[in-house]
A and B are shown apart, each in its own frame.
Chain A
C-alpha cells in the first residue's frame, strides 16, 4: 500500500537556463491534504508538472527526486496510476472533439463496458449523475461541470494521490463549497493523499492539514494549518494572510463561515 509521496529539491528552468522553480520539497501522505499557497506566477503549477516530468515544451527539470515510499520514481511511472492530476484550467483540459466517455476510455486500459461503468460511478461520486453526461462534448458542459468531470476522470484509475491545481478558481461560492465537500469526502472515503494548489486561503484553512507557502519559485514556509494561520513565521506568509484578511473584511464574511453556511 502506498503511503508516502515525497518531492525533494525539485528545480525547473527554461531552455536557456533561467530558473523558475528551485529547491521545492513537498511530502504527500495518504489521507492527508497539503495545500500549496502562493501568489500568481510563483511557480506552483510548474512544480507539479515538474514532479510528474510533464513540463510544457521549452522547460526543463533541473534536478530533484520524486520518491514513492522512499523509492525514487520517474514521472512516467507516477502519471495517472499513482498520481491523478486535475489541471488548472478545466475548460481547456478536454479535447473539444471527444466526449467525456471517450476521455475516460483513453485513460483506462480495460474493456469499454467496464470503463463506462467506472466512469458512471466516478461521475456519481462528484455529483454528475445525469446519464446524459458521459455523452457530452466539453463544449456542452459548464465550467463547474467540467471541473467536476475532470475530478471524476482523475478518480477512475483509483490513484492513491490526487494533485489538484486551483480546483476552486472560477467557481461561484456555492459550487466552491460543494467542491470542498467533495474533496473532503474523497479523503474520508478513499484515503487519498492530496496536494491542493490554491490562491484561496479559505480552501486551505478548511481542508488542509498542512500548508506550504511559495514565493518566487521557492517554498518559504511549511507548517500545520492551524499554526500557519495563528503564527505565520515568514514575512511573505504574513503578507498573504494580511491581504486575505483585508479582502474578507471588505466584501464578504470569512471564507470558513461562508462554506459552512453553503454546505448546510
Chain B
C-alpha cells in the first residue's frame, strides 16, 4: 500500500507512461501470445520456407517454413516468462536473504555476506553456464541457473539498504511508539527496500533477458522446435547472409524489451528517489 501511495503521489513523466504501455503490451504477449498467434509456431511447411513478407505471413517464414510472426508471439511466453520468473525468484531470494543479513547484523550478517562474495567473484554468465552444466539443459534449469548467478547482487544491495534504513529516525519512532519488530520491518523498511530493488531489477531485466536468450542461443535452454527468441536467432544464423531479417525480428523484440524496462527503471528511479530522500539522510 505504501508503494501504491507513493506511486499516486508522483505523476509519471510521459516517457515513463510510454514505457509502461509497452511493458503492458509485452506482458499481454507473454500471457496470451501462443493463443493470439495466427499459425501453429511449430508447424513445418518446407514448400513455404524462407518466404518474404506477404499478406498470409506478414513477417515471412523461416528456414523450415514456419510463420515468423507466430513464432515471435508464441516465443514471448518463454522468453519473457523466463525473465519474469527469474525476476520474481531473484527478488524474493535477494531481498529475503539480504534483509535478514541487514536486520540481524553481527555474525549472521558476516556469514551471509561471505557466501555472497563467493558468488560475486565469478562473472554471472560464466556462473550461469556452470549451473546449467550442473543442472542440465532446459528452460527451468536456465531460470534456476540465472537466479543462482544473480541473487547475490540483490542480496548485497538489499542488505546495504536495510542496514541504512534501520538507523532512520522514523524506524526508531515506530519502535518507541510500540510497533512490533516484524511490523516495523514490513511497514517502514521493506517498502523502501522494494522500491529501490524494483528500480534495480527493471534496469537489470535486459541483462537477464540476454542471459536467457544467450543460453538458448547456445542450445542450453529451450530446445527446438519450441519457439523462443534466442532459439530463433540461433536458427536464423545459418541463413544470416541471405535472410538477415530473420535475425532482425527476434533481435528487435529483445531490444524493445530491454529498452522498455530500462526506461521504466530510469523513470522509477527519478520518481522514487526524491521521495525517499525527502524525509531522511541517505543511508
Interface positions of A (Cβ within 8 A of B): 49, 52, 54, 56-57, 79-81, 83-85, 87, 89, 91-99, 102, 106-107, 137-139, 150, 153-154, 157
B21-46 residues at the A interface, CB under 8 angstroms: none
Partner of A106 from the list B168, B183, B192 (CB cut-off 8 Å) is B183
For A79, the chain B residues whose CB sits under 8 A away are: 175-178
Given contacts A57-B167, A93-B172, 7 further A-B contacts (CB under 8 A): A57-B105, A80-B179, A87-B173, A96-B277, A96-B279, A106-B174, A106-B183
Query: Could you tell me if B174 and A138 are in contact, using CB atoms closer than 8 angstroms?
Result: no
Distance from B60 Cβ to chain A, minimum over Cβ atoms (Å): 50
Of listed A54, A93, A154, residue having the most chain B CB within 10 A: A93
Give A94 to B279 CA distance when docked, in angstroms: 7
- Total A-B residue pairs with C-beta atoms closer than 8 Å? 87
Closest to A137 in B: B9
Question: What A residues does B174 contact at CB under 8 A?
Answer: 95, 106
Find out whether the CB atom of A93 lies under 8 angstroms from the CB atom of B178.
no
* The residue from A56, A98, A153 contacting B2, defined by CB atoms under 8 A apart: A98
Q: Are A106 and B179 in contact (CB under 8 A)?
A: yes
Nearest B-chain residue to A48, judged by Cβ:
B176
CA distance A84 to B178 in the complex (A): 9
The answer on a CB contact under 8 Å between A56 and B179 is no
B53 at the interface (CB under 8 A from A): no
Instruction: Determine whether the beta carbon of B176 is less than 8 Å from that of A54.
Output: yes
Interface residues in B166-213 (C-beta closer than 8 Å to A): 166-170, 172-179, 183, 187-188, 191-192
The answer to whether B177 touches A153 (Cβ under 8 A) is: yes
User: Are B178 and A157 in contact, with the CB atoms below 8 A?
Assistant: yes
**Cβ contact within 8 Å between B169 and A97:** no
With A106-B179, A107-B179 known as contacts, the answer to whether A139 contacts B169 (CB < 8 A) is no
Closest to A94 in B: B170
> Which residues of the other chain, B, contact A138 by a CB distance below 8 angstroms?
278-279
Q: A87-B169, A92-B170, A97-B2 are in contact. Are A139 and B177 (CB under 8 A)?
A: no
Other-chain residue from A91, A95, A139, A157 in contact with B188 (beta carbon distance below 8 A)? A95
Is B275 interfacial (CB 8 A cutoff)?
Answer: yes
In this complex, what residue of A is CB-closest to B272? Answer: A97
Contact at A85–B275, with CB atoms within 8 Å?
A: no
Residues in B with CB closer than 8 Å to A54 are: 172, 175-176
Contacts of B179 in A (CB 8 A): 80, 106-107
B276: interface (CB < 8 Å): yes
B121 within 8 A of A: no
Of B176, B178, B183, B275, which one neighbours A96 at CB under 8 angstroms? B275
Contacts of B191 in A (CB 8 A): 97
Contact (Cβ within 8 A) B177 A80? yes
CA distance A80 to B177 in the complex (A): 4
B173 near A106: Cβ-Cβ < 8 Å = no
A95-B177 contact, Cβ under 8 Å, with A106-B187, A138-B279, A139-B278:
no
A95 → B minimal CB distance (Å)? 5
Contact of B169 (CB < 8 Å), options: A57, A92, A102:
A92
Which residues of chain A have C-beta atoms less than 8 A from B177's C-beta? 79-80, 84-85, 106-107, 153-154, 157
Residue of A nearest to B192 (CB): A97
Q: Once the chains bind, are A98 and B5 in contact (CB under 8 Å)? A: yes
Judging by beta carbons under 8 Å apart, are A85 and B169 in contact?
A: no
Contact across chains for B276 and A89 when beta carbons are under 8 A apart: no
Determine the chain B residues whose CB is within 8 A of the CB of A137 once the complex forms. 9
Given the contacts A57-B167, A97-B275, A106-B183, A92 and B280 also touching, CB distance less than 8 Å = yes
Q: How far does the alpha carbon of A93 sit from the alpha carbon of B279 in the complex, in Å? A: 8
Q: A49 near B176 (CB under 8 angstroms)?
A: yes
Q: Could you jot down 22 A-B contacts, CB within 8 Å?
A: A52-B176, A79-B175, A80-B176, A80-B177, A80-B178, A89-B169, A91-B279, A92-B280, A92-B281, A93-B169, A93-B172, A94-B170, A95-B174, A95-B187, A96-B275, A96-B278, A96-B280, A98-B5, A98-B187, A106-B183, A150-B173, A153-B177
Which of the residues B168, B172, B176, B279 comes within 8 Å of A139, measured between beta carbons?
B279
Tell me which residues from 199 to 245 in chain B have a Cβ below 8 Å from any Cβ of chain A: none
Instruction: State the 4 A-B residue pairs at the shortest beta-carbon distance, nearest first.
Output: A80-B178, A96-B279, A92-B169, A85-B176
Q: What separation, in Å, do the CA atoms of A89 and B172 have in the docked complex?
A: 11
Once bound together, how far apart are the Cα atoms of A93 and B188, in whole Å? 12
* Beta-carbon contact of A92 and B105 below 8 Å: no
Within 8 A of A (CB), among B237-283: 275-281
Residues on B with C-beta less than 8 A from A89 are 169
Contacts of A95 in B (CB 8 A): 170, 174, 187-188, 279
Q: Which residue of the partner chain A has the closest CB to B170?
A: A95
B209 to chain A, nearest CB (A): 30
Query: How far, in angstroms, from A93 to B167 measured CA to CA in the complex?
Result: 11
A137 to B275, CA, bound (A): 10
Q: How far does the alpha carbon of A200 sit from the alpha carbon of B187 in the complex, in Å?
A: 35
Contact of A87 among B176, B275, B276 (CB under 8 A): B176
Q: Which residues of B contact A153 (CB under 8 A)?
A: 177
